[in-house]
Amino acid sequence: NYGDFKIDNLEEESGKYILEVAYKDYEKKTVEVDVKRSVNLGTIFL
């Protein structure tokens, strides 16, 4: 299974965010993102 996600309304140069992805019995994945402009995180494997 896969999913594409977009998060709107984050200002450019707004700083660092922590993104956590979790699903059922899979181990949670945490990614730190420094938003400067539009960011593509690519594929996040659980």
Residue 1: predicted pLDDT: 62
The pLDDT tens digits of the residues spanning 1-46 come to 678 888 999 899 999 999 999 999 999 999 999 999 888 999 998 8
Residue 25: predicted pLDDT: 94
Tokens in use for 31?
């990614």
Cα–Cα distance between 23 and 25 in angstroms, integer?
A: 6
Long-range own/partner contacts, residues 21-28 (CB < 8 A, 24 or more apart): 21/46, 22/46
Residue 32: predicted pLDDT: 96
Residue 2: predicted pLDDT: 73
